[in-house]
Amino acid sequence: MELYTITEEGLAAAMTALMADYKVVAPVEKGPSHVFDEITDWSLARPLAVGTTLPPKKTVFPQREVLLKFRAEGGGFEAEEVIDDTPTVMAGVHPCDIAGLRCIDHTFGGRYYDRNYGARRRSTIVLGFDCMPDDYCFCASVGALSAEKGYDLFLTSTRPGGYVMRIGTKRGEELLARYFTAASSGGVYEESAIEDFELRKRDAMKAAIDVPVEHLPAIYQASMDSQVWRKWGDLCLSCGSCNLVCPTCYCFDVQDRVSLNGAEGTRSRVWDGCMLFDFATVAGGHNFRPTPWQRLLHRHNRKFNYQYDRYGEPHCTGCGRCGRACLVRINMVTIANELAAERRGEVA
């Protein structure tokens, strides 16, 4: 693997140069936490901050995104697509969120390719940064401790004031040559420094799922009648916070807005959440998941069973955000471990 090193100052110079050509998004301080926001001053960036309130998916899949605009025309309507492909650099994306973007790619790709998402995703450069876990992180349990792909460049802070850089794509290689002019070539020492960082990261991880992640689909499939869902579902407030902060949740509602004179308007998608009461209600009022425990079962199965089965990788990346956000302390790890304990000996 070809490795490079860069100092904090060299990185700042590169990011400042990038800002001339790209919209740059990175974690910044906000209240007690951090949020991904557009910046024009790299000194405000906190690329190592763990647990931004919302994951960086909002850059490629915004909370409200105009899909179409339309206007009244000859007794009918003329509609046209709205495609946003603003060249963007997203810096400070941690391995869990890189995995999260890959999960969302599965949904928006496939037989029906989503151009609105795809244009923004392709025009967004991912600068990954490695991080150290807090009490909620459990990426090591779901195979997302480190990222092998899904980034253009990836930086590991192997020593104070310095990073080791890896190249993930051809685009990353071009960026390195053009903007990261202060980078120098690394070697065997840098390779072992990354290994050392990842070992320290693994050691620092407090939260853990007790069984290999590959066992979870079978455990969850066998646990549809488990009282664990009732127990935690009875506490759930159906607030949808876990949906909003999740790096792999992608469900959306579609809403129209019209100008006051009715002559023109937009059709947007807006984040929705499967934990909200009305999520599965059809016209006429029948709700297919009327109770919190049914919705909890559905959401957690989407992470460790349904989407895992459909796309071949867990759709929980161990970022810990839903655990941090939950008002009644419902936690993916607790539930996984309770289900695994119930099925011990039954499921390989």
Partner 1 sequence: MAAAVAQSLYLPESARILSVEHPTELEKVYKIAFDSGRPLGHGPGQFAQVSVFGIGEAPISISSSPNTREHFEMTVRRVGMLTGILHGMEPGASLGVRGPFGTTFPIDEMRDHDVLMVAGGIGLPPLRSLILPVMEDRGSFGKVTIMLGCKTPKEILFSADLAAWAGVPNTTVLTTVDRADETWTGNVGVVTTLFQKVELDPRNTYVAIVGPPVMYKFVIMELLTRSVPGERIFMSLERRMKCGVGKCGHCQINQVCVCLDGPVFRYSEARKLTEAI
Catalog residues that contact partner 1 under the rule CB under 8 A.
67-68, 70, 75-77, 79-83, 105, 107-116, 118, 121, 224, 250-256, 258, 262, 265, 267, 269, 272, 274, 279-284, 286, 288-289, 298, 301-302, 305-306, 309-310
Shortest distance, position 47 Cβ to partner 1, whole Å = 26
* CA pair distance 211, 122, nearest whole angstrom: 36
Nearer to partner 1, 49 or 90 (CB): 90
Shortest distance, position 90 Cβ to partner 1, whole Å = 17
Nearer to partner 1, 121 or 321 (CB): 121
Nearer to partner 1, 84 or 135 (CB): 84
Nearer to partner 1, 115 or 202 (CB): 115
Shortest distance, position 308 Cβ to partner 1, whole Å = 9
Shortest distance, position 67 Cβ to partner 1, whole Å = 5
Residue 5 half-sphere exposure toward CB, CA atoms < 13 A: 15
Nearer to partner 1, 70 or 231 (CB): 70
* CA pair distance 162, 5, nearest whole angstrom: 7
Nearer to partner 1, 117 or 179 (CB): 117
Shortest distance, position 305 Cβ to partner 1, whole Å = 8
Nearer to partner 1, 109 or 143 (CB): 109
Shortest distance, position 151 Cβ to partner 1, whole Å = 16
Shortest distance, position 264 Cβ to partner 1, whole Å = 9
